Structure 1
Amino acid sequence: MQQLLDSIQKISQVTSAKICFESHIFLDGAVRENKMTEFALQLIGLLNDALHINDVLEGTKTWTPYGLKLSWRLPGPNKMIFCIHLKDSTKVKKKKRWSQIMYMSYILDFLSKQHVDRYGNQFDTNNFILTTDADVQFTPESVEALLDLMLRDTSVGAVCARTYPLGSGPVVWYQKFEYAVGHWFQKVFDFIDDVTSVFEKLTF
């Protein structure tokens, strides 16, 4: 999680009049019986050092149908909105697939219907979602390069990056091989298998 928070902090320092960033973290099993669990408290404990949130109590606390939402405005030139969505397992299903549904719905069912962003700019089709795991590190330069590609080529609907492990030594060597196999073979097979399943369901 520290890697992700460090990356978010770097993004919060980007100065741009044309790009509006928001950051959202979805955490499974973070609320139980209307109380934050140990996992949620551990995450909140990292915010001061990682994101320079001096007083976490200054954030907004909102109870939701899925659990609890905590939000802050991060210090920095773009005053980025930062939200932590604490999921209650008794109210919403676990795992990342359901989290994906939640943030897709946030864009399609909520933000897009507001018609304007927090800067007063009209919403258009140039809205993008960058998703990562908690242990992934990324830079503002890589995000800007990704946005540039998406804006220049409207035929591109999604991009899957290749993950590289950090560190050195035999374990990292093995991870590089394992990640390469997963990227070039497993993801391709999963895509073909999913498409085949769809066509089978459409066959009369």
Structure 2
Amino acid sequence: MSTPDEVREQCARFRDTFHGLADEIGKVIVGHRDIVEGVLVALFAGGNVLLEGVPGLGKTMLVRTLADAMSLPFSRIQFTPDLMPADIIGTNVVMEDPDTGRRFFDFQRGPIFAQVVLADEINRATPKTQSALLEAMQERSVTVAGQTYKLESPFLVLATQNPIEQEGTYPLPEAQLDRFMMK
């Protein structure tokens, strides 16, 4: 069990790390300290973030800068009406052993296996494809063909969406909205 002094020291280290990261990200994302701190809170608390706004506000730059500042693997998934769940999660591919000629399935991981995932314009994809993120966001794992794969920690999905009035958008299901800590 930690002593009160150890707890204070841990809190001070966390505070310094948190503000140091916010300052580093703030060198690129200027004038949005509240949003930067909100995203960091979600990351450290194990949550996900939904950012809404028209294109050109720097949402993508924020996520990329966060991943760079923390040296975490980053992937960007551009959601479109023709995006399929396997494009996000990955799929089993038939491979052949060059020595024996035997065929086997090999799982090819999708972009969801990064630690910082940008789900860009999430509401442009169909609800079926949007739901491919649900297990990853809630359970921090994905299941393909009965096999469950754990995602590395920390894991953050930061999704962007265009205003719902914009043409070509689908509303996010309530189950998906519940998985975002912050909007």
Higher RCO (C-alpha 8 Å, min separation 6): 2
More strand by share: 2
Give the structure-1-normalised TM-score: 0.28
Give the structure-2-normalised TM-score: 0.30
